[in-house]
Structure 1
């Protein structure tokens, strides 16, 4: 199945901004993070079609996954 993955802020470093990806059936957000070498603690927010989802969310064909890192500052 195909999904669109959008990366934001530091997640784009040495990766991409937007890419269409082929993923296996029953793939989760966590599986995508692993494939992109992004650790769970780095993830700030994951959105599917603009709605917040947990890393355990099972992806569906045609969805758009947006990944945002945690934001630090002071």
Structure 2
């Protein structure tokens, strides 16, 4: 399976792309994160802590937070729209 992942802010800066294509080895959100870090190792300290994904990392599948869909074990399928971004603030 191949997925396109849209990245924002410092995640985009690391990959030097606003969108990347990955090939996760499974069909869960956790597999997306693993594939991203495999392809872009500099994302690891920005996205992960000892317990998994840092709490401020926002992951959306088809516009909906994965927190509402089963977290890191939420299922993914080819064609899903994946978005990953850090917290956003403004004024």
Short-chain TM bin: 0.7 to 0.9
- Give the TM-score normalised by structure 1: 0.73
Work out whether residues 8 and 18 of structure 2, in 8 Å CA contact, stay in contact via their aligned partners in 1: yes
Would you identify which runs of 4 or more consecutive aligned residues in structure 1 move more than 6 Å?
none
- Give the TM-score normalised by structure 2: 0.62
Structure 1 stretches lacking a partner, 5+ long = none
Instruction: Looking at secondary structure, tell me which structure has more strand per residue.
Output: 1
Instruction: Looking at secondary structure, tell me which structure has more helix per residue.
Output: 2
Once superposed, what is the RMSD of the aligned Cα atoms?
2.2
- Taking CA–CA contacts closer than 8 Å with sequence separation of 6 or more, which of the two structures ends up with the larger relative contact order? 1
**Pair member with larger Rg:** 2
Aligned residues between the structures: 72
